[in-house]
């Protein structure tokens, strides 16, 4: 599939993945991140476990998987940045190029998400450092398999998060460090940056994840955790829970931010994409469930509250790492795991606007990555000041659903609850109703029956389901 994209852009040859498996690793790396290991357990815990998990998995299967395929196929056809790719699909289908608004929204969304994603990843970096220090002191005591935080009480352990959030120069340094690494990988390019990072980091990630899960199964309370995650209490299913589950499914699969369109545009290989899309969705969901099975046994084993909210990972788990055997080591590996996952995701977030600057503005990769990296860094500074200097600021305080949201929560909520769903809704209407069918079938490589099923899900189920969730999520009053 050669396109005119090859003739565009800088003097360098068109960038691309070196193999299908390199693409899959990079895409799985993009999907698996803080969303799986931090956001999923938080939301599952807050929303009562099983019922939320069930709805989330249903959304992944019925909406997420078809959308993953739609985004990758769109990028593959366009062979350029996300906005250009959607425009290309529109042109080839004799549809209005205005449909590329879905990718414009997505590109802005990726930029916005990157700004706060890097701040949270900075916390992860901090805790990896803290746990590393604990490990060193455990080794110093001659007890490398000892617990962390010897002699501290729970309050002292948990107070670390508050102290961190109050210390803006430290937050700034961590944010800068994480964004700097992200920028470094992205400016090295698709092949020697993104692909290389994914092929080194993802195996480490899976090794750590499975290791800690097996450990938790023995050392924690595994049966209570499985009961919590896999027994559905349908009385807990409110419209709010359903809205959260959809938002989480989209966020976790990196949908609606044009990320998979962008990554899809680097596919040069031929062959169907159905299996590839299924692998990405399965791996992402599998990691979220495994993360639940890693975290909740530890939470229940230490009698902590599963509904602890966003601080669950940062406050509750360190308490558990104090008493559990090997706690200092496991704690260190745990935060290292989250760091690795976050990095391959932040790279994909920066790649979206970077590719846009290259494709639409004809900037070099380096210039584009630097400008958008600095921009997202700057916006992130406001997000981190929202915990200290600007803690009274409620950017969308006039709007009921964002009334109490600080700067970071506002960016998170606005992108997750509004921009991503709106983006995928426009995309699904475009792909389902406007895009040339023959071209889409060739790009997806689906056989007749599967293609029909896919198109049905994209054309009907996605817009209607996402539209309803948006409506009731944004206007809770409609339900009385």
Q: Which residues of the chain form contacts with ligand PHE (CB under 6 A)?
A: 30-31, 33-36, 110, 113, 251-252, 254, 257, 259, 345, 348-349
Sign of CA dihedral 318, 319, 320, 324: positive
* Closest distance to ligand PHE from the beta carbon of 424 (Å): 12
How many Å is the maximal CA-CA distance in the chain? 71
* Closest distance to ligand PHE from the beta carbon of 260 (Å): 8
Please give the C-alpha separations between residue 192 and each of 125, 185, 186, 198, 384, in angstroms, as whole numbers: 24, 8, 9, 10, 31
* Closest distance to ligand PHE from the beta carbon of 334 (Å): 16
**Cβ atoms within 10 Å, residue 384:** 27
**Residues 249, 239: Cα–Cα separation, whole Å:** 15
Residue placing its CB nearer to ligand PHE in the complex, 73 or 280: 280
* Closest distance to ligand PHE from the beta carbon of 386 (Å): 20
Please give the C-alpha separations between residue 19 and each of 234, 270, 271, in angstroms, as whole numbers: 44, 10, 12
* Closest distance to ligand PHE from the beta carbon of 56 (Å): 12
Number of H helices, E strands in the chain: 22, 0
* Closest distance to ligand PHE from the beta carbon of 349 (Å): 5
Residue placing its CB nearer to ligand PHE in the complex, 251 or 332: 251
**Residues 274, 164: Cα–Cα separation, whole Å:** 44
Q: Residue ranges of the alpha helices (H) in 13-167?
A: 20-31, 34, 40-46, 50-59, 65-78, 82-92, 101-140, 154-166
Please give the C-alpha separations between residue 158 and each of 127, 153, 379, in angstroms, as whole numbers: 12, 9, 28
* Closest distance to ligand PHE from the beta carbon of 34 (Å): 4
Q: Which residue lies nearest ligand PHE, judged by its C-beta?
A: 35
DSSP code string of 396-427 = TTTSGGGTT--HHHHHHHIIIIIIHHHHHHHH
* Closest distance to ligand PHE from the beta carbon of 325 (Å): 30
**Residues 407, 390: Cα–Cα separation, whole Å:** 8
Residue placing its CB nearer to ligand PHE in the complex, 31 or 313: 31
Query: Which segments of 25-65 are extended strands (E)?
Result: none
Residue placing its CB nearer to ligand PHE in the complex, 213 or 441: 213
**Cβ atoms within 10 Å, residue 166:** 13
Residue placing its CB nearer to ligand PHE in the complex, 327 or 353: 353
Residue placing its CB nearer to ligand PHE in the complex, 35 or 216: 35
Residue placing its CB nearer to ligand PHE in the complex, 343 or 384: 343
* Closest distance to ligand PHE from the beta carbon of 450 (Å): 25
**Residues 309, 41: Cα–Cα separation, whole Å:** 9
> Number of C-alpha atoms within 13 angstroms, CB side, residue 376?
33
Residue 290 DSSP SS3: helix
Residue placing its CB nearer to ligand PHE in the complex, 36 or 115: 36
Residue placing its CB nearer to ligand PHE in the complex, 73 or 319: 73
């Amino acid at each position: 599939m050669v396109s005119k994209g090859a003739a565009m852009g800088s003097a360098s040859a068109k960038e691309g993945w070196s193999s299908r498996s390199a693409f899959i690793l990079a895409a799985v790396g993009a999907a698996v991140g803080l969303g799986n290991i931090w956001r999923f357990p938080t939301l599952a815990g807050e929303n009562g476990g099983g019922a939320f998990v069930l709805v989330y998995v249903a959304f992944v299967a019925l909406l997420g998987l078809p959308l993953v395929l739609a985004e990758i196929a769109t990028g593959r056809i366009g062979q350029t940045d996300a906005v250009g790719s959607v425009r290309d699909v529109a042109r080839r289908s004799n549809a209005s190029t205005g449909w590329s608004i879905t990718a414009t929204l997505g590109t802005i969304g990726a930029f916005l998400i990157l700004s706060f994603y890097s701040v949270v990843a900075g916390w992860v970096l901090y805790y990896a450092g803290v746990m590393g220090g604990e490990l060193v002191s455990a080794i110093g005591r001659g007890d490398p398999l000892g617990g962390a935080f010897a002699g501290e009480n729970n309050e002292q352990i948990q107070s670390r998060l508050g102290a961190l959030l109050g210390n803006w120069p430290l937050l700034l340094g961590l944010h800068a460090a994480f964004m700097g690494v992200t920028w470094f990988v992205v400016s090295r390019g698709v092949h020697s940056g993104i692909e290389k990072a994914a092929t080194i980091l993802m195996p480490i990630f899976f090794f750590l994840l499975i290791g800690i899960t097996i450990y938790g199964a023995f050392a924690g309370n595994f049966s209570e955790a499985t009961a919590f995650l896999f027994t559905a209490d349908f009385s807990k299913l409110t419209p709010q829970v359903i809205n959260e589950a959809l938002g989480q499914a989209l966020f976790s699969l990196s949908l609606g931010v044009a990320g998979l369109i962008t990554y899809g545009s680097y596919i040069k290989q031929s062959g169907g994409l159905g299996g590839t899309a299924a692998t990405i969705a399965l791996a992402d969901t599998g990691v979220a469930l495994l993360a639940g099975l890693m975290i909740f046994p530890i939470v229940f084993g230490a009698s902590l509250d599963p509904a602890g909210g966003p601080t669950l990972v940062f406050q509750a788990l360190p308490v558990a790492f104090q008493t559990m055997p090997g706690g200092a080591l496991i704690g260190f590996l745990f935060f290292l795991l989250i760091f690795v996952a976050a990095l391959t995701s932040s790279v994909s977030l920066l790649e979206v606007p970077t590719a846009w600057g290259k494709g639409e503005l004809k900037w070099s990769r380096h210039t584009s990555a630097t400008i958008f990296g600095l921009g997202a860094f700057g916006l992130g500074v406001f997000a981190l000041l929202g915990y200290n200097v600007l803690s009274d600021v409620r950017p969308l305080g006039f709007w009921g659903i964002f009334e109490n949201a600080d700067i970071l929560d506002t960016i998170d909520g606005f992108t997750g609850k509004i921009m991503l769903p709106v983006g995928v809704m426009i995309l699904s209407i475009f792909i389902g109703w406007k895009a040339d069918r023959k071209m889409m079938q060739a790009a997806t490589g689906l056989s007749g029956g599967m293609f029909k099923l896919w198109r049905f899900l994209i054309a009907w189920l996605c817009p209607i389901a996402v539209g309803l969730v948006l409506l009731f999520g944004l206007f809770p009053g409609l339900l009385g």
